[in-house]
Amino acid sequence: MFPSRDTGDRVRQAWMKQHHKLYDEAEREALLHTVDEVLRLRGRLDWWISGGKTGLPPDARLRVAAYRILSSGAKADGLLWLFGGEDDVVSALLRRLEGHTLEHPDMPPAAKHSVPDWIMPQLKKRFGADLDLELAAMLRAAPLDVRVNRLKTTREAAASALQAEGLRSQPTPFSPIGLRLSPQAYVNNTQAHAEGLVEPQDEGSQLAAQLVDAANCKFVVDFCAGAGGKTLVLASAMQNNGRLVAMDVSTIRLTQAKQRLRRAGVHNAETREIDGKWIKRHAEKAERVLVDAPCTGTGTWRRKPDAKWRLSQQDLDELGPRQAEILDRAAKLVAPKGGRLVYVTCSVLVEENEDQVAAFLKRHPEFSVLPVNDVWAKTVGGACPVPGPYLSLSPGRHGTDGFFAAILIRS
């Protein structure tokens, strides 16, 4: 049920593909809801299971059984089939859980908020007095945000197209190109998606890409393009004019990007593997360079609650030097006298965000910070929800995934 290296989204998609004919819609929804909640509340469930002092390590079956008992008052005897029948040790553990709920006054903060113990100091450093607010928000299921492709439609027309297919939406609070749907909504099988009118993309990701301010630029580079989500935002801002290069180390992701660009009607973009010779030939030529750096993904835990349990201190330690190296390489492309390097992560950790930018500025005194407020009014519109100088979005305060963006201008 929970492959060790798969995300919850992939688990759900694979299961739906294999078993969609075996259950009716209500049964599928109930099963998937249980899977989602077990992934989301794993910290609490493991605390209850470990507290049974049976020596049984928490596993998928125990978590499902514990969730059923603690969330809905199910009886232990009715769940023993998960374990192949009567098991005295399992039975004793599950019976101890009867009459309890998912919460307990003795539960430590890490278990209560369902996050690994080791990362709590970093989260406290980021959120301070807002820690409980933010971690509680991370435990809630995220809505489905989609980005409207302005190369093909308007936000109003896209909303109408989704409505015609039975999907209600409302405008995102900050992004002028976003629509928000319920967490249960699925748009990838809609005609609106097939025609390239909308693409799933969290509002925070939309905002970070809009801050690149790519409109009217002749040469823009998306240095860590992945499957092209932010590349699509840049192409729309450029209105298919100028040259847009989407770069990545993964040919698989770049192939996915090509498909998405084609569906969206993008004509000014090309995909390219990151290559030192190409960087040297195009040094100091790009007006805008976006670096959507590989990171811990702590800002996306609402959507990928299982990802937090695969993350380790070693991962965080190794990401820092990697992010710095990527920034240094991308900086070579930035044109002098006003060219901009926009550093973005979907992390909420200071180590990957403010600390990484501060270290970069020490290595590259030719760059300085352009406050996000100076760009927001032009690219997004309305009042900027953060004081700056950086964009720092979070689930609790802004209702988006956790995102960070720094705009660095070259003198």
Q: Does the pTM of the predicted model rise above 0.85?
A: yes
Both 180 and 316 in a single domain?
no
Longest dimension (CA), the chain: 74
**154 lies in some domain:** yes
Q: What is the pLDDT of residue 130?
A: 98
Domain stops at, among 178, 200, 222: 200
Q: Quick: pLDDT tens for 173-209.
A: 999 999 999 998 999 999 999 999 999 999 999 999 9
Q: Quick: pLDDT tens for 297-315.
A: 999 999 999 999 999 999 9
For position 178, which CATH number holds?
A: 3.30.70.1170
Q: Quick: pLDDT tens for 215-239.
A: 999 999 999 999 999 999 999 999 9
Confidence of residue 56 (pLDDT cuts 50, 70, 90): confident
Across 119-188, where does the E strand assignment appear? 144-148, 170-171, 178-181
What is residue 86's DSSP assignment?
-
**How many domains are there within the chain?**
3
Both 91 and 176 in a single domain?
no
Both 323 and 195 in a single domain?
no
Q: What is the pLDDT of residue 13?
A: 58
Both 195 and 234 in a single domain?
no
**268 lies in some domain:** yes
Dig out the tokens for 368 from the structure.
């300085």
Q: Quick: pLDDT tens for 358-374.
A: 999 999 999 999 999 99
Both 371 and 240 in a single domain?
yes
* Domain containing residue 406: 203-410
Domain stops at, among 185, 200, 215: 200
Q: What is the pLDDT of residue 6?
A: 47
Dig out the tokens for 208 from the structure.
């970070």
CA 92 – CA 394 distance, rounded (Å) = 41
Summarize the confidence of residues 29-42 as an average pLDDT: 88
**330 lies in some domain:** yes
Both 232 and 376 in a single domain?
yes
Q: What is the pLDDT of residue 3?
A: 35
Both 239 and 288 in a single domain?
yes
Q: Quick: pLDDT tens for 93-134.
A: 999 999 999 999 999 999 999 999 999 999 999 999 999 999
CA 344 – CA 378 distance, rounded (Å) = 19
Confidence of residue 12 (pLDDT cuts 50, 70, 90): low
